[in-house]
Chains A and B, each alone.
Chain A
């Protein structure tokens, strides 16, 4: 019972490099999310996808792009990484407008 799977778990990037965080869910959920979690800031929504084929900006979208590849997969791309993007990233999924959001295990990203 995998739930929400995200890769990689750990990554170190140099400033200016690009990378993609991958996320897949096996619960047949319509909605998927990318959050970042920083000390003292809590969980902040970067982008979300209410359904396959749609994406919308969250609270902190600058510097990120997303792709809802199909119903299962939702990727987050950093085109030109900056030290301010050092964070823990969580992918999540839910039924539409649900209060139960299922989170992945997190991806620890350090930009040097």
Chain B
């Protein structure tokens, strides 16, 4: 079983839809949770970062972490064609063996105009 599981998609939605992207994980030591966005033929770039449980909002993007369920989500409101990309969750613990970032496999999102 992988430490981080992410549905690869593809996920196709119409412009303006609310998108929900999710990851589950198995290691309870993870404390830092990130979402990276990767456009086609480009390197990933950090979109959002959350520490421990709770919500974080940045414009149209909201990241949620539920540590009790080992489940994280990224919501995109009013989705735009420019949001079409692969979204990778990533997470790590603090110190020791869990200090390295572990990435999900990524979910491919297509927003149709």
Contacts and interface: CB of A to CB of B under 8 A. Distances in A.
Contacts of A105: 41-43
Contact of A48 (B100, B103, B105, B106): B100
Interface string B1-29: 00010101000000000000000000000
B49 to A, nearest CB: 5
B32 interface: yes
A100 B44 contact: no
B72 interface: no
A99 B32 contact: yes
A101 B46 contact: yes
A58 interface: yes
B94 to A, nearest CB: 8
Interface of B: 4, 6, 8, 32, 34, 41-46, 49, 88, 92, 99-101, 103-106
16 contacts: A40-B105, A42-B88, A42-B105, A42-B106, A43-B88, A43-B103, A45-B100, A92-B43, A99-B34, A99-B92, A100-B46, A100-B49, A101-B44, A104-B43, A105-B41, A105-B43
